Structure 1
Amino acid sequence: MEHLAYGITLQPGGHLEPTDTTLVGAAILELSQETGIDPAQNVPVSAHPA
């Protein structure tokens, strides 16, 4: 994705929030927030994030 502040292409990222209960759940939420992808359409390939 084009990072508006840096002017370069970066992968979607984010931060853990106090309300996040799992790393995978947090990753899906951040992906949705940054890309607009419906979280219900996202299927992780592993329950263990790298």
Structure 2
Amino acid sequence: MSSLVKENNAFYKRLQVSDYRIIYTVDAAACELIITSIKHRRESYRKKK
């Protein structure tokens, strides 16, 4: 699943692949794709009772 945000003639997309989230920019005018960050998704821990 990905989301799309348009700002300053560039498209910022977020994509989840397996346990990683990738944020990248698509600049249509310059025909460029720039990977901004790749991070492991945060895991939530539950308290043991």
Q: TM-score range by the shorter chain?
A: under 0.3
Higher helix share: 1
Higher strand share: 2
Greater Rg, structure 1 or structure 2?
2
